[in-house]
């Protein structure tokens, strides 16, 4: 994990990289994840912005109920692409 964080050091910036490494050494994995997700969220948003020709739908769920999430995604997929069965 330390190597993975170091691999994105330039993109994180030295301050965030150091904070992530310190958190890792302190076994504060929640903080490590928050720092890494901030970077990946920015990277994802940038990639989405570059794909102007595609329609992107964002979903927000109240909880992590996998059945609810799966059913919602299936229903929305059928609306956009038609039913495959």
Residue 51 phi, psi dihedral angles, 5° rounding: -105, 60
Q: Whole-prediction pTM value?
A: 0.52
pLDDT tens series, the chain, 85 aa = 999 999 989 888 899 999 999 999 999 999 999 898 888 777 777 777 777 666 667 888 888 889 999 999 888 888 877 765 5
**Chain centre to alpha carbon of residue 15:** 21
CA-to-CA distance for 23 and 41, rounded, in angstroms? 19
Closest to 13 in 3D by CA, of 32, 39, 31, 33: 39
Biggest CA-to-CA distance, the chain: 52
Who's near 63: CB < 8 A, 6+ residues apart? Answer: none
pLDDT at residue number 31 = 93
């Amino acid at each position: 994990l330390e190597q993975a964080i170091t691999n994105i050091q330039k993109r994180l910036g030295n301050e965030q990289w150091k904070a992530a490494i310190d958190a890792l050494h302190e076994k504060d994995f929640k903080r490590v994840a928050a720092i890494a997700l901030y970077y990946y969220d920015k990277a994802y948003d940038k990639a989405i912005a570059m794909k102007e020709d595609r329609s992107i739908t964002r979903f927000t769920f109240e909880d992590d109920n996998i059945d609810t999430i799966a059913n919602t995604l299936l229903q929305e997929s059928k609306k956009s692409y038609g039913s495959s069965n």
